[in-house]
A = this chain, B = another copy of it.
Amino acid sequence: MVLDQGPCGPSRKRTGRRTGARRHGAVQAREGRGVTLASLVPLLDHASVLVFALTGALVASRAQLDLVGFIFFATLTGIGGGTVRDLVLGRDPVFWVHRPELILLTAGAAVLVFFTAHLLESRYRLIVWLDAFALAVAVPAGVGLALEAGVSPVVAVAMGVVTGTFGGLIRDVIGNELPLVLKQGELYVTAAVGGAVVAVALIGVGMPRPVALIFCGLIVIALRAGSLALGWSLPTYRARPPRN
């Protein structure tokens, strides 16, 4: 949260005063562990912005948009999940408002995809796999930021899932793609929830947060990759045909 305040860093103490939750976060940030966490979480957050941006640009390529359309979808997808998370947590303003470099990052990803997507075998497969990696970095970032904000483990799990899934949700809803959350027999939300639950559990038993968040990301990618490559899945509801 410290690093995430950018230019309005000084306002952190003020926001820190605004709720018990915030003060809690500020205190941790002053501890050694908090500092380590403060250095890991933004790294994960920015990595997820970049990789989600690539998926957004690939969806723009499937919709045959122009370069600006690529930038629009890349930016929307890259910052969407973290924006919803920050709004819900009351982090004011949201993380990219004083981080112009993040929008330049998503724009750069869009330009890269615009000129190289035709080299790809299957853009859809790449979208799905890049989305899996973005999910694996965004979920721990969301859990970490939520815990810094002092919320309960259950809400931290929800924030990890929001951070991981909403960028892709916005991308798919606006881009007329089937939202990945609706893909039957795939572990997607489950991968996010699984990693987030393990993270809060490990932290609950005393594991240092940065280590727990790394475990979180590994579990998310393991579950998601296992589902994509090996067909891992949970039983789905099939009592009767849908749309009855």
| Interface residues, chain A, with chain B CB atoms under 8 Å away | 7-8, 10-11, 14-15, 17-21, 60-72, 75, 83, 87-90, 92-94, 96-98, 100, 103-104, 114, 117-118, 122-124, 151-155, 158, 161, 165, 169, 173-176, 178-179, 181-182, 184-185, 189-190, 193, 233-240, 242-244
Contacts and interface: CB of A to CB of B under 8 A. Distances in A.
Nearest to A233: B66
A175 to B, nearest CB: 7
B173 A61 contact: no
Contacts of A10: 20
B62 A242 contact: yes
Given A14-B18, A88-B93, A155-B103, A61 B8 contact: no
Contacts of A70: 237
A243 to B, nearest CB: 6
B152 A100 contact: yes
B20 A184 contact: no
Contact of A88 (B14, B97, B176): B97
Contacts of A152: 98, 100
A110 B133 CA distance: 28
A64 B184 contact: yes
A89 B11 CA distance: 14
Contacts of A181: 65, 69, 72, 174
B88 A189 contact: no
Nearest to A107: B154
Nearest to A113: B237
A138 B84 CA distance: 22
A150 B89 CA distance: 22
A237 B189 contact: no
A92 B18 contact: yes
Nearest to A151: B97
Given A75-B158, A88-B97, 10 more contacts: A63-B182, A67-B234, A69-B236, A71-B189, A72-B165, A72-B181, A83-B88, A98-B151, A173-B174, A174-B182
